């Protein structure tokens, strides 16, 4: 395909190929900073021929228009496409069913439209999975003619719920908080990119697996990023079923689009109309967003003189889309761009209002920045450090993250023979980000610079996991004035190094297992930096208050107890509470800060145990650990015991699509832990082909022949 680009368009800002602005297909096909340029062409969705008589159901839009504990009002709008001048009386039989209850309405079609109002007594509500049951009713619509003959039928799952975005707190402060059924929630989740570069080749099961993994890590929201696709129905069906809210971008990303061209705008109008009609019926869909980063970056590039053209595309996000939504879906907030929101002189990535993309960490963006000011990036040890998250008091962090290597199996499977080593050309090719030194600087600041492929896999994963933990715990402690944290990114579309939590072969990275703790609805959080006081918080996203006793214990790496204190606390439902503060000196009893670990646990098991270190990884000397391993082949369980503290115990799975009950974890001195493994398709797992290591172990346990094969590549 050849597209002629005029002189006018040559001056456009458009990341990754200016030809893509005219082609309404996934922008990421043209390359992005986490995937290759693979521009596909051809039919990639199912093609069917359907025969209809007289009329057909064109679209159905069911929405909750009123909700109390005792009653819900559900309005169902049905659009009918009938033959020209058809004078027959058409009727619609509309039924909402759940378990033993059923409510039916019979309405006539007038001017191609049928409208029914259904009252549901004592409704069962749809909740995100962390707050309750994502209950779904069955909605059935049957179109009949005057002879009562069925002409067409439609059915879908439908959840009764109300979702809003609160932008003001009761005290007058700005918010950007999703409110579900009257509950102000903290959105915990990630950004979603297409599941494969060849999208048509991806099976529906890949969606189910990735979203099940999201639920397993306590995520309650996915943002469909604007450089991919309007996802397949299976994505939204699974989010409805699993109780995961969806932030939906329209597919415009990081470019100027020709809104001056009439044919292009007619095409966009048709696209937006069809997308809204297709997706508005999904219960999980919580917000519409006009584009990814365009408004924000236009100002940045204009201020630097890189862009001299008008804001081409502005009419799409600020006129066309909201006009169509006003007609077709007024039930959700429309947000023009992400990030968006400015107060005073600050730019559209302001932390004071709306949502924010935190790319100070990793990209080194210097913020806050005022509108019109030059763009400054500080690509230095301090400038890209994840410690900068603690400076961010955003209302809603909709993009942030850092790179990590894929797992060993994924890399070894896809990297050519002889290239699986640190700093090989192929490893460099698998990192599509600009300025690879950013990843090195992040590791240098926390773990130190890796010297081989083993250290690179471990250090990059540990830095990503600890960095996300550091940032997300900070965001959650600031609840409700920070009300969301969506990591960039959940999944991968090809095998390489990226921001993802789950790699291309559907093997979770260390950050995924960390997320099972830092996204848990109830958690204890330790706010601490080297040399500073230690502040203890309880974060409770549940809808019931908690009364419990937290135990804080400080032990040396060899198991000597230096400090122990039990703290009784009470925290209200859906709240955060600081329960104690200590100095380092109080906890250490004269011991070295770099030789101890702080353990937090609940006496009643309300929250998961967690470990914290008082110094960064690079500033700690760990003792050599001896791991004892026991394999239960019948039940796919591996039991691991350590004699001293074991740092980052890793099960290297040498096959795809295997999840562990835990992985990339630390073991306290003398602790024993049993790990349950499962294959996402229930295939057999060979426990003998799992390599077990800890960063501070000299042994690589389980299969030396595999070790030699992999390390020699």
pLDDT digits 0-9 by tens, 250-270: 999 999 999 999 999 999 999
Domain boundary among 619, 641, 664: 619
Q: What gap in Å lies between CA 472 and CA 386, rounded to an integer?
A: 11
The pLDDT of residue 606 is above 50: yes
Taking residue 690's Cβ as centre, other Cβ atoms within 10 Å add up to 24
**pLDDT in the model for residue 635:** 96
pLDDT digits (tens, 9 = 90+) for 51-67: 888 899 999 999 999 99
Final residue belonging to a domain, choices 619, 642, 661: 619
The CATH number assigned to the domain holding 255 equals 3.20.20.80
Q: For 624-671, what is each residue's pLDDT tens digit?
A: 999 999 999 999 999 999 999 999 999 999 999 999 999 999 999 999
Same domain, 201 and 284: yes
The CATH number for 639's domain is 2.60.40.10
Residues 6+ apart with CB under 8 A from 510: 404, 461, 462, 464, 465, 648, 650, 663, 664
- In this structure, the answer to whether residues 417 and 498 fall within a common structural domain is yes
- pLDDT higher than 80, residue 20: yes
Q: Give the model's pLDDT for residue 407.
A: 97
- How far is residue 556's CA from residue 157's CA, in Å, rounded to a whole number? 54
Residue 304 is predicted with a pLDDT of 86
d(CA 595, CA 692): 24
* Average pLDDT along the chain: 94
> Can you tell me the distance from the alpha carbon of 129 to that of 164, in angstroms, rounded to the nearest whole number?
18
10 confidence band (pLDDT: 50, 70, 90): low
Total number of domains constituting the chain: 4
- Per-residue pLDDT band for 501 (boundaries 50, 70, 90) equals very high
DSSP single-letter state for residue 680 = T
- Verify that 355 and 384 share a domain, yes or no: yes
Q: Is 148 found in the same domain as 181?
A: no
Q: What CA–CA distances, in Å, run from 187 to 182, 213, 480, 663, 685?
A: 15, 16, 11, 25, 34
Q: Which domain holds residue 547?
A: 524-619
pLDDT of residue 18: 86
Q: What is the pLDDT of residue 8?
A: 57
* 38 lies in some domain: no
Predicted TM-score (pTM) of this structure: 0.95
What pLDDT does 1 receive? 44
- What is the reported pLDDT for 9? 57
- Judged by DSSP in three states, 268 sits in helix
Q: Are residues 431 and 333 in the same domain?
A: yes
Residue at 45 is within a domain: no
- Same domain? 424 vs 365: yes
Q: Report pLDDT digits (tens) over 207-234.
A: 999 999 999 999 999 999 999 999 999 9
Q: 28 falls in which pLDDT band (50, 70, 90)?
A: very high
Does residue 145 share a domain with residue 78?
yes
Question: pLDDT grade, residue 711 (50/70/90)?
Answer: very low
The answer to whether position 32 is within a domain reads no
CA distances 571 to 425, 524, 548, 605, 606, Å, are 53, 11, 9, 15, 12
Asked if the structure places residue 283 within a domain, the reply is yes
pLDDT of residue 225: 98
Q: Identify the pLDDT of residue 401.
A: 98
In a domain, 22, yes or no: no
Q: Of residues 240 and 23, which shows the higher confidence score?
A: 240
Largest distance between two CA atoms of the chain? 91
The residue ranking higher by pLDDT, 304 or 274, is 274
CA–CA gap between residue 407 and residue 507 (Å, rounded): 7
Query: What is the DSSP pairing of strand 285-289 with strand 333-335?
Result: parallel
Structural tokens at position 103: 């409510």
Stretch 404-432: mean pLDDT? 94
**Residues 452 and 330 both lie in one domain:** yes
Say whether both 244 and 349 belong to one domain. yes
Q: Which residues have C-beta within 8 Å of that of residue 515, sequence separation ≥ 6?
A: 217, 218, 219, 468, 487, 501
Residue 597 has pLDDT above 80, yes or no: yes
**Average pLDDT over every residue of 310-316:** 96
pLDDT at 204: 95
The CA–CA distances, whole Å, from 418 to 131, 139, 458, 642 equal 50, 57, 20, 35
Q: What's the pLDDT score for residue 702? A: 63
pLDDT tens for 582-591 read 999 999 988 9
* Model pLDDT for residues 283-293, shown as the tens digit of each residue: 999 999 999 99
Determine the pLDDT at residue 188. Answer: 98
Question: Given a cut of 70, is residue 340 above it in pLDDT?
Answer: yes
Q: Are residues 204 and 317 in the same domain?
A: yes
In a domain, 15, yes or no: no
Write out pLDDT tens, residues 462-493. Answer: 999 999 999 999 999 999 999 999 999 999 99
Q: How confident is the model at residue 709 (pLDDT cuts 50, 70, 90)?
A: very low
How much is the average pLDDT of 663-685?
Answer: 96
Residue 192 — pLDDT band, cuts 50, 70, 90?
A: very high
Residue range 366-379: mean pLDDT, rounded: 92
Q: Does 184 share its domain with 319?
A: yes
User: Is there a contact between 128 and 220 (Cβ–Cβ < 8 Å)?
Assistant: yes
Among 578, 600, 619, identify where a domain stops: 619
CA distances from 93 to 41, 96, 358, 541 (A): 41, 10, 50, 41
Domain-located, residue 1: no
Domain presence at residue 47: no
When pLDDT is cut at 50, 70 and 90, the band that residue 704 belongs to is very low
Indicate if 388 and 507 belong to the same structural domain.
yes
| pLDDT confidence of residue 93 | 96
3-state secondary structure of 303: helix
pLDDT over 70 percentage in the chain: 96
């Amino acid at each position: 395909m050849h597209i002629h680009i005029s002189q006018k368009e040559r001056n456009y800002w458009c990341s990754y190929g200016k030809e893509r602005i005219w082609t309404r297909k996934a922008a990421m096909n043209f390359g992005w900073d986490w995937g290759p340029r693979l521009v596909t062409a051809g039919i990639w969705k199912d093609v069917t021929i359907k025969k209809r008589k007289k009329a057909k159901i064109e679209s159905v839009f069911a929405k909750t228009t009123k909700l109390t504990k005792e009653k819900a009002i559900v309005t169902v709008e049905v659009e009918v496409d009938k033959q020209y001048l058809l004078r027959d009386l058409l009727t619609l039989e509309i039924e909402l069913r759940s378990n033993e209850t059923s409510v039916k309405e019979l309405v006539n079609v007038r001017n191609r439209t049928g409208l029914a109002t259904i009252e549901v007594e004592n409704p069962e509500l749809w909740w995100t999975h962390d707050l309750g049951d994502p209950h779904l009713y069955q909605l059935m619509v049957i179109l009949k003619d005057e002879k009562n003959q069925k002409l067409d039928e439609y059915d879908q799952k439908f959840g009764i719920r109300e979702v809003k975005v609160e932008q003001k707190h009761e005290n007058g402060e700005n918010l950007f908080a999703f409110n579900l059924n009257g509950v102000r929630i903290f959105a915990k989740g990630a950004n979603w990119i297409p599941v494969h570069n060849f999208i048509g080749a991806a099976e529906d099961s890949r969606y189910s697996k990735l979203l099940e993994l999201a639920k397993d890590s306590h995520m309650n929201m996915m943002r469909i990023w604007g450089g991919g696709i309007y996802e397949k129905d299976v994505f939204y069906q699974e989010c409805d079923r699993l109780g995961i809210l969806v932030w939906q971008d329209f597919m415009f990303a990081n470019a100027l689009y020709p809104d001056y061209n009439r044919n292009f705008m007619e095409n966009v109008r048709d696209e937006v109309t069809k997308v809204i009609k297709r997706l508005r019926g999904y219960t999980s869909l919580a917000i519409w967003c006009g584009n990814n980063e365009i408004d924000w970056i236009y100002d940045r590039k204009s201020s630097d003189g890189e862009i001299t053209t008008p804001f081409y595309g502005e009419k799409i996000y600020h006129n066309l889309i909201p006009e169509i939504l006003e007609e077709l879906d007024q039930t959700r907030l429309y947000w023009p761009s992400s990030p968006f929101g400015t107060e005073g002189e600050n730019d559209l990535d302001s932390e004071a209002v709306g949502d924010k993309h935190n790319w100070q960490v990793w990209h080194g963006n210097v913020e806050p920045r005022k509108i019109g000011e030059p763009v400054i990036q500080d690509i230095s040890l301090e400038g890209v450090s994840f410690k900068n998250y603690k400076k961010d008091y955003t209302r809603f962090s909709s993009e942030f993250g850092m790179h990590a290597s894929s797992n060993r199996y994924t890399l070894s499977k896809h990297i050519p023979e002889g290239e699986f080593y640190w700093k090989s050309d192929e490893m460099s090719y698998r990192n599509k980000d600009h300025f690879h030194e950013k990843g090195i600087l992040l590791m240098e600041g926390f773990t130190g610079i890796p010297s081989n492929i083993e250290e690179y896999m471990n250090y990059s994963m540990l830095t990503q996991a600890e960095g996300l933990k550091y940032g997300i715990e900070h965001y959650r402690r600031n609840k409700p004035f920070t009300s969301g944290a969506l990591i960039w990114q959940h999944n991968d579309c090809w095998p390489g190094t990226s921001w993802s939590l789950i790699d291309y072969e559907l093997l979770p990275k260390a950050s995924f297992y960390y997320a099972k703790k830092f996204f848990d609805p109830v958690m204890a959080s330790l706010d601490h930096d080297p040399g500073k006081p230690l502040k203890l918080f309880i974060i409770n996203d549940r809808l019931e208050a908690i009364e419990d006793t937290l135990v804080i214990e400080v032990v040396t790496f060899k198991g000597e107890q230096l400090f122990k204190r039990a703290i009784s606390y009470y925290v209200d439902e859906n709240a955060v509470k600081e329960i104690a503060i200590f100095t380092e000196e109080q906890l250490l009893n004269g011991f070295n800060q770099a030789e101890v670990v702080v353990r937090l646990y609940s006496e009643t098991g309300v929250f998961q145990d967690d470990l914290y270190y008082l110094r960064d990884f690079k500033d700690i000397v760990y003792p050599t650990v001896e791991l004892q391993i026991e394999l239960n082949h019948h039940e796919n369980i591996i039991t691991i015991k350590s004699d001293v503290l074991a740092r980052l115990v890793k099960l290297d799975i040498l096959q795809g699509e295997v999840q562990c009950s835990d992985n990339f974890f630390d073991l306290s001195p003398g602790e024993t832990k049993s790990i349950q493994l499962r294959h996402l398709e229930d295939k057999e797992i060979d426990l003998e082909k799992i390599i077990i290591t800890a960063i501070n172990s000299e042994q690589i346990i389980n299969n030396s022949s595999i070790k030699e094969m992999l390390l020699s590549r």
